[in-house]
Chains A and B, each alone.
Chain A
Amino acid sequence: MSLIIDNVSKSVDGEIHLQDIHLTMQKGSFNTLLGPTLSGKTSLLRLLAGLDKPTSGRIMMGGQDLSSIPVWKRNVSMVYQQFINYPHLDIYENIAFPLRRAGLAKAEIDRKVRATAETLRIDELLRRSPGELSGGQQQRTALARSLVKGADLLLLDEPLINLDYKLREEFHDEFTNIFADNRDTIIIYSSTDPLESLLLGGDILVLDEGRQLQHGPTHDVYRNPRMEAVARVFNDPQMNMINGRVENGRIVLGQGLTLPRSTHMTDLREGKYRFGLRANALGLSRASADDVELEARVELGEINGSETFVHIHHNEVSWVVQEDGVHTHSLGQVIRVYFNPEYLFAFDEKGMLAAAPKYVPGSGTAEE
C-alpha cells in the first residue's frame, strides 16, 4: 500500500501554506519531513491525517482517494508537539483507547497494550494518570497509543521538540529500535533539526515556504542537495555560501581567494557560481596537505551543546566554523582556519547544484 500525494496545495484565507506537493511514499518506509518553522510541515501532516482538506490535489492511499473518508475511519495515528493524552483515563486505558474503539477482544487488547508499554518502557506506569507523569513519560504514552493500533500511516509532528536535550537523545536511540522492524506502516516524522533527520535515516522530504524542495533517501539528499535552498535547510549551522567563479581553470572565492580546481569540479564550465562549505568542513588546524589556509578575525563565538560555532570574517565574507568541544575565542582575535577544497559545493546562478563533494567531512573517508 503506497501513499500518493498528488499535486496537493493548501491555502487558508489566501495565504499559501503548501504548494504543489507531489510524491509517493512506500509501505514500511520511514520519512522525515525537514523544514524550518512555518515551512508547511504541520499543514502537510494535517492533510495526510484528514484533519484538514487540501485546497487542490488528491491524497491517495492504496489506490483510494482519501478525501471521501472521514478522519475516524482512516487508519492513521498522530503524535503532536504538545503531550496530548486523555486526562480522565489512566495510562493503560489511554493506550487501549484506539483498540477498544476498533472493537478488539479483551485478551488481545491486554496483550497489545502491555507489549507496547514495554517497548516504550512505561509498563510500570499503567495505573497512573497522565497528569502525574513527566513530559517524557507523557510523550511515551502518546507514542504508545499511536503505535498500538498498527496504523497504515503514523504521523509524528516534531514529537520531541518540547523535551530537553538529554531526553531527546534518549528517544533518538530508542526510535531506531522501535521503528526498525516496521513493515506495514508509512511513518512520517517532521523535524526542524537536520541532525535529527540524519540520525533517523530513511527518506527525507525537504520543505521550505510550503514548497517541496527535494525528496529522496536522507543521506543522498544530504550529500547532493538539489539546490542551494536544500543545503540551507539541511545544515545547522547553515552552510557557508560564498560568491565566486570558475576562471582560467581555477576557482576564485569572494574577492580573490584562488584555489586549485579539485577533482569533483573538473566538469564545471567557466562562469559565476555560489560555493558552499559546511561549517564542519572548516577547522582550526590543518588536517591534510591539501588544506587551504585563511586568516580571519573572530566576530562571535557561540557555544551550542558540545560544539562551538565560531563566526569569522575574512576578506569581506563571513564564515561559520564548527568546532568540536567548548572553546572560547576573544572577539577581534585573528585566527587561522583551514579547509579542504574537496568539500566545496558549487551551485549555479539559478541556485541548482552544479557539483557536490565526493566525501563527507568528519571521518575523512568516503562514506558509502
Chain B
Amino acid sequence: MLGLYRFLKYSAILLWSAFVAGPFLWALTTSFKTSEGIVSGATYIPWLQYKPSLDGWGVLFRRGGQGIDIVDPYLASLTVTLSASAISLVLGTLAAYGLSRFSYKAGPIKNADITFFFISQRIMPPIVLSIPFFLMLQAFGLLDTKLGLIIVYVALLMPIAVWVMIDFFHNIPVELDETAMLDGCRPVETFFRVILPNCKPGLVVAGLFCLIFGWNDFFFAFMLTFTKTQLLPVAVVALNSSVTPWWSLSASALVSVAPLVILAFVVEKYLSRGNLAGAIK
C-alpha cells in the first residue's frame, strides 16, 4: 500500500517534471540543428539522429547580414527591466510600509481604498492602456525609447511590489517600529534603520516578481518601440515567421529565459518559505 502510494507520488512528480522541462529540452536540441536536421522531422539525440552545429548560437552574436544580433536587445531588456523593477520596488515598498503603518484620509478615501487602487491596476488589460500610452509617450517624445518603456513598466510593476510588501509588513509586529521610535528614530529613520534591514525575504520575492513581469512583457515593448529600441521578446518573436530558422530561434529563446530561471534557483530558499515574513517571528 505504502509502496504503491510512493510509486504513484514519484511518478506524478516525474511526469510533471517532464512536462515542465520538455519545451526546454526540445529547444536545446533544436538549437544545435541545421535546416537538414529540421526538415527531416522531429529528432532528439545529436550525433545519433542529426549532425549538431553551432550555427544557431553563432548568428545571435553577429551583427548585420546573416546575423541576428541579440546583444543589443539583451542589454536594452536588462536596462529597462532592472530600472523599472528598482523604481517600482522602492516606491512600492515605501507606499506599502505607509499603508501598513499609518492611517491616511482624504475625504471618503481611506487606507483600504488606496491599497485597492494600487493593486487593482493589475486588472487593467494591456490593450486598454496601449493606445493612450502610445499617444502619451509620443507627446513627450518618449516613443521608441528606453525611458518611455521604464515609465510604463513602473505602472505595471508597482502594484505587484505593493501587493507583496503590504502582506510582508503586516507580519512584522508594529511594536518593533514603536520601539525604534522610542529609541529616538523618526518614522523615516525607523523605516530605514530598523524595518528595511529586516525585509530581505519580502524584498527578494517582490523583486523577483517585478523582474518576472517586467522581463517577460511583450505587448508594451511591441507597441511602444520600433527600431531605435528593441527589447528581447520583440527581437525573438520577430524570428517567428513562416520561414523560421528554428535553430537560432531556439538558441535565442534559451538565452532569453535563462537569467530568470537561474535567478529562481539562486533565491530558491525565499520562494518556498511558508510565511514570507518567516525571518521575523
A adjacent to B, CB under 8 Å: yes
Given contacts A72-B185, A84-B173, A102-B184, contact A78 B179 (CB under 8 A): yes
Given contacts A88-B198, A131-B281, contact A71 B176 (CB under 8 A): no
Given contacts A87-B198, A87-B280, A131-B281, contact A77 B173 (CB under 8 A): no
Q: For B199, give the chain A residue with the smallest CB separation.
A: A88
One digit per residue, 1 when the CB lies within 8 angstroms of any chain A CB and 0 when it does not, for chain B 167-207 equals: 00000010110111111111001000010011000000000
Interface residues of chain A: helix, strand, loop or mixed (majority)? mixed
Give Cα A49 to B186, complex, Å: 15
Contact between chains at A88 and B186 (CB < 8 Å): no
> Does B136 sit within 8 A of A, measured CB to CB?
no
> Does B12 sit within 8 A of A, measured CB to CB?
no
Give Cα A101 to B180, complex, Å: 10
One digit per residue, 1 when the CB lies within 8 angstroms of any chain B CB and 0 when it does not, for chain A 62-75 equals: 00000000111110
Give Cα A51 to B180, complex, Å: 12
Contact between chains at B175 and A84 (CB < 8 Å): yes
Of the candidates A72, A86, A131, A142, the one whose C-beta lies within 8 Å of that of B184 is: A72
Query: Considering the complex, which residues of chain A in the window 104-132 have a beta carbon less than 8 Å from any beta carbon of chain B?
Result: 131
**Contacts of B183 on A, CB cut-off 8 Å?**
72, 97-98, 101, 145, 149
Most B CB contacts (10 A, CB to CB) among A80, A88, A142 go to A88
Give Cα A49 to B279, complex, Å: 28
Contact between chains at A101 and B184 (CB < 8 Å): yes
Contact between chains at B186 and A87 (CB < 8 Å): no
Give Cα A86 to B197, complex, Å: 10
**Contacts of B185 on A, CB cut-off 8 Å?**
72, 101
Give Cα A76 to B280, complex, Å: 25
One digit per residue, 1 when the CB lies within 8 angstroms of any chain B CB and 0 when it does not, for chain A 169-211 equals: 0000000000000000000000000000000000000000000
Give Cα A166 to B111, complex, Å: 44
Give Cα A97 to B194, complex, Å: 10
**Contacts of B197 on A, CB cut-off 8 Å?**
88
Of the candidates B182, B279, B280, the one whose C-beta lies within 8 Å of that of A78 is: B182
Contact between chains at B182 and A80 (CB < 8 Å): no
Binding site for A on B (CB under 8 A): 173, 175-176, 178-186, 189, 194, 197-198, 279-281
Query: Considering the complex, which residues of chain A in the window 137-189 have a beta carbon less than 8 Å from any beta carbon of chain B?
Result: 142, 145, 149
**Contacts of A49 on B, CB cut-off 8 Å?**
178, 182
Contact between chains at A86 and B176 (CB < 8 Å): yes
**Contacts of B176 on A, CB cut-off 8 Å?**
84, 86
Contact between chains at B182 and A71 (CB < 8 Å): yes
13 new A-B contacts at CB < 8 Å, known A49-B182, A84-B173, A97-B183: A51-B178, A72-B181, A72-B183, A78-B178, A84-B175, A84-B179, A86-B176, A86-B198, A87-B280, A88-B198, A98-B184, A101-B184, A145-B183
> Does A82 sit within 8 A of B, measured CB to CB?
yes
Give Cα A239 to B189, complex, Å: 50
Q: For B279, give the chain A residue with the smallest CB separation.
A: A87
Give Cα A87 to B194, complex, Å: 9
Give Cα A37 to B280, complex, Å: 27
Closest 4 CB pairs of A and B: A101-B184, A98-B183, A88-B197, A71-B181
Q: Taking the nearest CB of chain B, how far is it from the CB of A45, in angstroms?
A: 11
Contact between chains at B175 and A82 (CB < 8 Å): yes
Most A CB contacts (10 A, CB to CB) among B175, B179, B185, B186 go to B179
**Contacts of A78 on B, CB cut-off 8 Å?**
178-179, 182
Contact between chains at B173 and A82 (CB < 8 Å): yes
Give Cα A49 to B198, complex, Å: 24
**Contacts of A70 on B, CB cut-off 8 Å?**
186
**Contacts of A87 on B, CB cut-off 8 Å?**
198, 279-280
Contact between chains at A77 and B182 (CB < 8 Å): yes
Give Cα A102 to B184, complex, Å: 7
Give Cα A82 to B174, complex, Å: 11
Give Cα A51 to B198, complex, Å: 22
Q: For B187, give the chain A residue with the smallest CB separation.
A: A72
A and B contact pairs by CB, cutoff 8 A, 19 listed: A51-B178, A51-B181, A71-B181, A73-B184, A80-B175, A80-B179, A84-B173, A84-B175, A84-B176, A86-B176, A86-B180, A87-B198, A88-B198, A98-B183, A102-B184, A131-B281, A142-B179, A145-B179, A145-B183
Give Cα A167 to B280, complex, Å: 24
**Contacts of B281 on A, CB cut-off 8 Å?**
131
Give Cα A102 to B182, complex, Å: 11
Give Cα A252 to B195, complex, Å: 64
Most B CB contacts (10 A, CB to CB) among A74, A77, A98, A149 go to A98
Give Cα A264 to B168, complex, Å: 62
Query: Considering the complex, which residues of chain A in the window 339-355 have a beta carbon less than 8 Å from any beta carbon of chain B?
Result: none
Q: Taking the nearest CB of chain B, how far is it from the CB of A160, in angstroms?
A: 16
Q: For A153, give the chain B residue with the smallest CB separation.
A: B182
**Contacts of A98 on B, CB cut-off 8 Å?**
183-184
**Contacts of A71 on B, CB cut-off 8 Å?**
178, 181-182
Contact between chains at B175 and A72 (CB < 8 Å): no
Give Cα A70 to B180, complex, Å: 13
Give Cα A70 to B178, complex, Å: 12
Q: Taking the nearest CB of chain B, how far is it from the CB of A218, in angstroms?
A: 26
**Contacts of B184 on A, CB cut-off 8 Å?**
72-73, 98, 101-102
Give Cα A145 to B178, complex, Å: 14
Give Cα A15 to B189, complex, Å: 33
Give Cα A197 to B176, complex, Å: 27
Q: For B183, give the chain A residue with the smallest CB separation.
A: A98
